Copies of this chain bind each other. A is one copy, B any other.
């Protein structure tokens, strides 16, 4: 019994579980009834689509609406919801497990960070996650359906409303608009832009933050983790909106032709979507280099831990920035919102950030070898988009060679599972060392 438990530790269950879901999805998408042409998808393209949907990425090698039958689209939607919810609940579960472990040592700290959530509250928690998800998705779907009903028959509008609400709350980036054009038709439409931006942002906060906000009426207090996620999300969204607004102001292919409120909606959407939703209202390949590089940085950062979003996570970014700032100011303690950050947290942040960076660098170099002849930024962009499970594309993904497709499939899977399971593995396997080496002096900088 002990052996089975050792073998099937939580990270392995996560990896295996998602691999099985992806394989089932792949099988379903290869069925003749899955595609409009009645032939079914090739194995590699089906594997790509199933991985992209389950890992809530949104990179596509075939256009969703143009290729799939309604059955195929519903398979994709189900994979998104299972993948998204799966990560949310499993991420929350893992987080509580981590907390549980630490709580033996530092109950007081825990009490603040996790609002007294304990293993015994798991069932209640999962119920609450489900409830939150259903409520938010339904509200989003209703608003979108009403808006879409002006452009299409009411039945289609409702279907589209639900599909896009679910896809965007789960930060999945899939759409039904056809011709790989995502939401470009709605670039200056306040209903669509504001609704989808809200769905994306809420999905990216993560359930722990969610739950704290929900309970704020009673508790009247937020943990430092939640404060970091909320404030950093606000700063990144506002900062990126302003920068993209400026970078694209005169670009005739993006914001240039829109009026000033249209420019604002376009900039806001493209500040929100890189972290890590994947829908777009502007043609990505036509963005300026400045906006593309900013997007790459935002895709790398991602959103909240234990959320449906990918990337190194917003807290990792905030901890590294706080470290940087404290060091520049010559402070001994690294402090965020009047709370000292433990060295262990900083070491974990370095590890997560470096692992993300190394994966992106490796994938960029590999893609430039397997799929020659494209501008360099395309490789960097698609690699970061896949790692961050973002789904934005400059157009390279549909043109990828089979090798390139396999590389992106692996990257999405690793990107989705990596940081979380890595974080868990680090905290779990830690051992007190009996022997300490003497200190060594090293010149830095």
A420 within 8 A of partner (CB): yes
Please report which residues of chain A, range 410-445, place their CB below 8 angstroms from some CB of chain B when the two chains form the complex.
419-420, 422-423, 425-426, 428-433, 436-445
In the complex, which residues of chain B have a beta carbon less than 8 angstroms from the beta carbon of A355?
Answer: 324
Neighbouring B residues of A99 by C-beta, 8 Å? 441
A304: which B residues are within 8 A, CB to CB?
443
A206 to B439, CA, bound (A): 22
17 pairs across A/B with beta carbons < 8 Å? A112-B440, A288-B372, A292-B376, A293-B361, A305-B443, A306-B443, A315-B442, A323-B351, A324-B350, A328-B425, A331-B431, A331-B433, A332-B431, A346-B350, A348-B445, A352-B445, A375-B376
**Among B329, B347, B368, contact of A293 (Cβ-Cβ < 8 Å):** B368
- A437 and B340 contacting across the interface, CB-CB below 8 Å: yes
Judged by a CB distance under 8 angstroms, whether A68 is at the interface is: no
Interface string of A279-308 (1 = CB under 8 A from B): 000000000111011100100000011100
- In the complex, the answer to whether B368 meets A289 with C-beta atoms within 8 Å is yes
CB-CB contacts of A315-357 with B at 8 A, as 1s and 0s?
1101111011001111111111111111101111111101100
Q: CB-CB < 8 A to A329: which residues of B?
A: 429
Residues of B within 8 A of A346 (CB): 346-347, 350
Complex-state Cα separation, A319 to B335, whole angstroms: 23
> Does A95 reach chain B (CB closer than 8 Å)?
yes
B290 touches A430 (CB 8 A): no
Give bound CA distance, A428 to B330, whole Å: 8
Segment touching B, from A24-32, A136-144, A182-190, A220-228: A220-228
Q: Does A364 contact B (CB under 8 A)?
A: yes
Question: Which residues from B are CB-within-8-Å of A179?
Answer: none
The 8 A-B pairs at the shortest CB distance, nearest first, are namely: A339-B440, A423-B445, A113-B441, A330-B429, A224-B440, A305-B443, A419-B445, A289-B368
Whether the Cβ atoms of A376 and B377 lie closer than 8 Å is yes
Q: Would you call A379 an interface residue if the criterion is a C-beta within 8 Å of the partner chain's C-beta atoms?
A: yes
Q: Give the docked Cα–Cα distance between A299 and B341 (Å).
A: 32
User: Given A290-B365, A351-B324, A436-B340, do A444 and B423 touch, yes or no (CB 8 Å)?
Assistant: yes
For A350, give its contact among B348, B350, B420 (CB under 8 Å).
Answer: B350
CB < 8 Å neighbour of A443 from B313, B375, B436, B440: B313
Chain B residue nearest to A229 in the complex (CB): B443
Query: How many copies of this chain?
Result: 2
CB–CB B319/A444 < 8 A: yes
Interchain CB contact under 8 A, B436 and A339: no
A399, CB-defined interface residue at 8 Å: no
* A208 contacts partner chain B, Cβ-Cβ < 8 Å: yes
Task: Check if B444 sits within 8 Å of A352, measured CB to CB.
Answer: yes
- Cα A98 to Cα B376 with chains together (Å): 42
Contact indicator A290/B368 (Cβ below 8 Å):
yes
Residues in B whose Cβ lies below 8 Å from that of A428: 330
Q: Are A437 and B319 in contact (CB under 8 A)?
A: no
In this complex, what residue of B is CB-closest to A103? B441
A204 to chain B, nearest CB (A): 13
Are B339 and A228 within 8 A (Cβ)?
Answer: no
Q: Return chain B residues, CB-CB under 8 Å to A426.
A: 327-328, 330
Does residue A8 face the partner (Cβ distance < 8 Å to B)?
no
A333 near B440: Cβ-Cβ < 8 Å: no
Q: How far is the CB of A339 from chain B (nearest CB, A)?
A: 3
In the bound complex, do residue A335 and residue B437 qualify as a contact, i.e. CB atoms below 8 Å apart?
A: yes
Q: CB-CB < 8 A to A336: which residues of B?
A: 440, 442
Q: Nearest residue in B to A426 (C-beta to C-beta)?
A: B327
Please tell me if the beta carbons of A441 and B350 are within 8 angstroms of each other in the complex: no
Within 138-196 of A, Cβ neighbours of B (below 8 Å) are at: none
Question: Across the interface, do A316 and B445 meet the contact criterion of CB distance under 8 Å?
Answer: yes
Given contacts A293-B376, A343-B343, contact A443 B361 (CB under 8 A): no
